[in-house]
Structure 1
Amino acid sequence: MSIELAYSVTNPEPKNESGNSTQVSAKLSPNGFALVPQPSEDVKDPLNWSSFKKSTTLLIWCLGCFATTASGLGNALGYFVQAQAYHKPDPISLSYSVVAATAGIAIGPLFAIPLAHLFGRTRIFLWSMVGLLATGIWSATMTHSDQYGDFIAARLFGGLFGGIAPALGAETIMDLFFLHQRGKAFTVLNLSFLAGVVVGPTLSGFIVGSTSWTVQFWWSNGVEGIVIILALALLEDTYYDRTPEAEDCRKSWPDSFLANRTATFFAGARVIPPMSMAEIIQVFCNPFLIGICPVTLLCGGLILVDFGFAAFFNIILTVFLQGSTATGGYGFTPGQNAEFLFCLWFGVIVAQLYGHFANDRIPLWICHRNGGIWQPEYRLHTLWLPGLVILPVSLGLYGASLQYHLHYMILALATFLGGFATNAIVPVTANYIVECFKGHASESAATMGVYRLAFSLTIPFFAPAWISKVGAGWCLGMAAFFSIFAYLGPLLLMWKGAKIRTWSFKSLLADEGGLKVIKTAGNMEARREV
């Protein structure tokens, strides 16, 4: 529901030099927020879809994101059992299967985004789920001792297919939701992806403790099958060109169910306009260009360090928990290890609640305090608690627990705090960068995915030597200080982000900074201050 208000244009031409503003006709939500972007009058415009249809679309994308990491980390607690099956003396070498899946998740979107611009996001999403299902079956059937290499390859290709949903889902959110709604939407999408990091290993522990390790993949294959069925039945592409030139294309889109499904997922009418090869190459290059922009380097540095350390120590947590007490471990069985991971579940749940209540409210409150003028940097203020306070504390507590072999409940507290902090940080940073390059949401999300996973891919190769050299306490204590240092990037953006954004590539930079989006003191304007 929206309220349309028309204004007299008191300043018909923008005057950039003088600092005057231009008033425009706008639609406002009932609570006084300007609808950004402004929807068209067409009921087929995704911005005009019902709340139920928007929620259903987001739910399907979220299930796809969940299946990605649930499958990729589906054997995270199966190292010891698989080491026996593949005749590997060191269980740590089995963690390379998770590293391979993680690498695929980071790299896959870079190739999928150009294809989405050619064939449509929804079509690529569906077939990526089909590919993820196929690689899951492949992984579950690699049971012979000489098939370890094939198993690693299956995990890599599973990651390549699985990493597509989170990146393309970011563009879907930008198509469906208004500015004042995106914080919650990005929280739900990203935490669905991150929930798989928790659920996959937890179920893995229960499975390998009671039945064949191959079941770790069969259950996630079932989730992927459900996503495929829901997508075929309910999912529509959210691309919508509001320019007058695209009217004929919009009218040609089929309304009947079978024709619509055929056009969306297989063949028929084009979902999006055709692109030249030069444009496709530009789309492929965009994530790399976005990745080297100062605003991305400063924000991405935080997620690089924070998520990298957190992800790695979650990966090796199995080694500490299931290791013998004589070697400094806790002597847990796989089932007990799985039960321990429920503290991460609570971390994700609390992060979801925090994001629901904070990720839109805090930025909009700051916006209201500044006269209703929006700046993307307002979103970063939700990072103070999880990024600057809780994460360093959790890493330090984690290190002390391992160094002095404290009671496992202290380790559980550290794990819970770390789970909350990292899961609360990821949606905010992704949302911020997407809004800085809002015409390139998929490319921005893919870039942040690389930042999120790059360090966690490399750290398993040197962290064991680091721990053996200085001990787990010093290793994690240094990680805590590194996380504080990484927070300087967002601090700088909060202070001078509007200026730093202008140092990005002009062909990519597009944001909503300067828009007046909130009714203040009886003023019902919706305008861009220039």
Structure 2
Amino acid sequence: MEQKQVVTMMDQSSGLESPNSDSSRAGNPKVSASGVTLIPQPSSDPNDPLNWSMSKKTINLIIWSLGAFVSTASGLGNALGYFVQAKIYHKDNPIELAYSVVAATAGIAAGPLFAVPLSRRYGRVLVFFWSMVGLLVTGIWSATMTHSDQYIPFVIARLFGGLFGGNAAPLGSDAVVDMFYLHQRGKALTVLNLSFLFGVVVGPTLSGFIVGSTDWSVQFWWSNGLEAAIIIISLLFLEETYYDRTLGLDAKGRTRPKSFIGGRMTTLFCGSRLMPSISFAKIMEHFLIQFKIGICPVTMLCGGLTLIDFGFAAFFNIVLTVFIETPVEEKGYGFTPTQNAEFLFCLWFGIIAAQLYGYFTNDRIPLWICRRKGGIWQPEYRLHTLWLPGLIILPIALGLFGVALEHHLHYMVLALACFLGGFATNCLIPVTVNYVIECFKDNPSECASIMGVYRLAFSLSLPFFVEAWIGKVGFDWCLGMAAFFSIFAFGFIVVLIWKGRELRKLSFKGLASSEGGVKIVQDGEKPPSKV
């Protein structure tokens, strides 16, 4: 009786009853080589993205990841050029140049809110492709704003660059869910999200080397070249991943043309032929779904963590340039832009460490817990990977960061704080995004876009009051308070681990949809079929 109930739950949660799913009809679900049940079950259709070869999936994931990377690398591309540009635009306070990065960051947060609903009508690839074209145009616009009276147009260009550039990571989340099984998504979403976050440090690093040796406008020309390359490889290789898992794409008459050129033309210029035909009202419904997901309890708790933790980390990375290049007599470190760029390699190592941590834990630890719980999957198992980075390492990093700046400790102490903070915050983002996606599995890109708003909202507001805050209490108390706030925010994750199953039920009607309750690990049984 219990076994029959598990199978029924699995069918209801993951939509296994499909005309194209031979194994589902036979009651003999396909499993991986390690005995993990494949969720969702693949169909027998070769056009099903789940049936694509791993090389094809990898190529598509790489293109999406490159798009996510260049969006932030371009958005923060002038982060170490503040002092140089302040002279050109006649700005006495270099912090004012940080507003250009804030504008780009605001665009990155807001852009997906409009792009995601459009992708439901015109396809993910079409929206992504033309977003890259828009990002390239605004990059050229930014690079040509070299006169003293062009500060406002420069900031506007950065804003529009963010609006176009921020779409890759949310739309790529849809592609990941379409191409990869439940037990593979942790790694895939880690690659996608950390590519986005890696751009946050690569852009400023290259900015420092550029302004230290050549004209500041080159900060944007290098990313323009990468954007052009992404446009070309997308034109050639990026595939639309939408697939109706209930009826199959062919059953709706929306097949891809057989010829290569016909397929590329349809995907990039007539993407609506590959998608369900929906009305403008339905597009607006998808726009509102993002905000409905955003105010569901599980999203607010995960979003609250990223709002606080990533908000502090992202902002202090943005203004670190000002602190570290301030003359020594003014309690700065007196670094040149080139030295500043070299210093930022500590953040590179932090993200690399986070990538390795995520690769080896984001699927393994949840599956290990799942086996110990009788093989029944719950999305909350993914959150257990956050104990080390979120509760222990991040508060230490924030406190150390504040003490180093307040007491002007050796720059290597500051570098250690940056490394630890970079590692911790970059471990948090992929897991929280993945968790929310698995709570609302029918709306992956909507989840990713609203989590992007949570991630960036606080860091956008900090520049307007943080100077007064630091002046009032000092660096040590400012960052010390941030450390305590991060411990408090981790309490949200503890609540989700404890009561996540119940909180998921409090979502808006028709939105909550997860694989929770699915038996994905067989108790020592021999797998009936392996894929």
TM over 0.5: yes
Residue 407 (structure 2) pairs with residue 404 (structure 1): yes
Residue 204 (structure 2) pairs with residue 236 (structure 1): no
Q: Is the 8 A contact 1:516 1:525 kept in 2?
A: no
Residue 422 (structure 2) pairs with residue 419 (structure 1): yes
The aligned counterpart of 1:253 is: 256
Distance in structure 2 (CA, Å) of the matches to 1:291 and 1:503: 13
Distance in structure 1 (CA, Å) of the matches to 2:165 and 2:109: 9
Q: Is the 8 A contact 1:83 1:94 kept in 2?
A: yes
Give 1:279 deviation, angstroms: 1.3
Residue 295 (structure 2) pairs with residue 330 (structure 1): no
Give 1:106 deviation, angstroms: 0.2
Give 1:36 deviation, angstroms: 0.2
Residue 362 (structure 2) pairs with residue 374 (structure 1): no
Distance in structure 1 (CA, Å) of the matches to 2:418 and 2:248: 54
The aligned counterpart of 2:441 is: 438
Q: Which of 283, 290, 312 lines up with 1:280 in the alignment?
A: 283
3-state SS of the aligned residue for 1:438? Answer: coil
Q: Is the 8 A contact 1:253 1:269 kept in 2?
A: no
Distance in structure 2 (CA, Å) of the matches to 1:245 and 1:213: 51
Distance in structure 2 (CA, Å) of the matches to 1:322 and 1:219: 24
Q: Is the 8 A contact 1:322 1:332 kept in 2?
A: yes
Q: Is the 8 A contact 2:122 2:271 kept in 1?
A: no
The aligned length equals: 513
Give 1:519 deviation, angstroms: 1.9
Q: Is the 8 A contact 1:394 1:418 kept in 2?
A: yes
Give 1:464 deviation, angstroms: 0.7
Q: Which of 269, 279, 304 lines up with 1:266 in the alignment?
A: 269
Q: Which of 92, 109, 114 lines up with 1:111 in the alignment?
A: 114
Q: Is the 8 A contact 2:378 2:516 kept in 1?
A: yes
Distance 1:251 1:102, change over 3 A: closer
The aligned counterpart of 2:13 is: none
Give 1:118 deviation, angstroms: 1.0
3-state SS of the aligned residue for 1:139? Answer: helix
Residue 175 (structure 2) pairs with residue 172 (structure 1): yes
Give 1:283 deviation, angstroms: 0.2
The aligned counterpart of 2:14 is: none
3-state SS of the aligned residue for 1:87? Answer: coil
1:303-354 deviation per Cα after TM superposition (whole angstroms, max 9, x unaligned) = 0000000011111111111001111100000000000000000001000000
1:264-318 deviation per Cα after TM superposition (whole angstroms, max 9, x unaligned) = 0113770101002221111010110001000111111110000000011111111
The aligned counterpart of 2:306 is: 303
The aligned counterpart of 2:515 is: 512
Give 1:252 deviation, angstroms: 3.4
Distance in structure 1 (CA, Å) of the matches to 2:242 and 2:223: 29
Q: Which of 43, 55, 60 lines up with 2:58 in the alignment?
A: 55
3-state SS of the aligned residue for 2:245? Answer: coil
3-state SS of the aligned residue for 2:99? Answer: helix
Q: Is the 8 A contact 1:205 1:337 kept in 2?
A: yes
3-state SS of the aligned residue for 2:520? Answer: coil
The aligned counterpart of 1:449 is: 452
The aligned counterpart of 2:494 is: 491
Identity %: 64
Give the aligned CA root-mean-square deviation in angstroms.
1.8
Q: Which of 23, 26, 33 lines up with 2:29 in the alignment?
A: 26
Residue 127 (structure 2) pairs with residue 94 (structure 1): no
Q: Which amino acid aligns with 1:105?
A: I
Residue 472 (structure 2) pairs with residue 477 (structure 1): no
Q: State the TM-score, normalizing by the size of structure 1.
A: 0.94
Residue 229 (structure 2) pairs with residue 209 (structure 1): no
Residue 80 (structure 2) pairs with residue 66 (structure 1): no
Give 1:33 deviation, angstroms: 0.6
The aligned counterpart of 2:203 is: 200
Q: Which of 133, 151, 154 lines up with 1:151 in the alignment?
A: 154
Distance in structure 2 (CA, Å) of the matches to 1:443 and 1:274: 19
Give 1:253 deviation, angstroms: 1.9
3-state SS of the aligned residue for 1:26? Answer: coil
Distance in structure 1 (CA, Å) of the matches to 2:473 and 2:271: 62
Unaligned runs of 5+ in 2: 11-16, 18-23
The aligned counterpart of 1:4 is: none
Residue 388 (structure 2) pairs with residue 385 (structure 1): yes
Q: Is the 8 A contact 1:252 1:269 kept in 2?
A: no
Distance in structure 2 (CA, Å) of the matches to 1:194 and 1:15: 36
Q: Which amino acid aligns with 2:464?
A: F
Residue 45 (structure 2) pairs with residue 35 (structure 1): no
Give 1:12 deviation, angstroms: 11
Distance in structure 1 (CA, Å) of the matches to 2:325 and 2:489: 32
Unaligned runs of 5+ in 1: 1-8, 17-21
1:464-507 deviation per Cα after TM superposition (whole angstroms, max 9, x unaligned) = 10000000000000000000000000100001100010000121
Q: Which moved more, 1:267-276 or 1:321-330?
A: 267-276
Distance 1:12 1:101, change over 3 A: closer
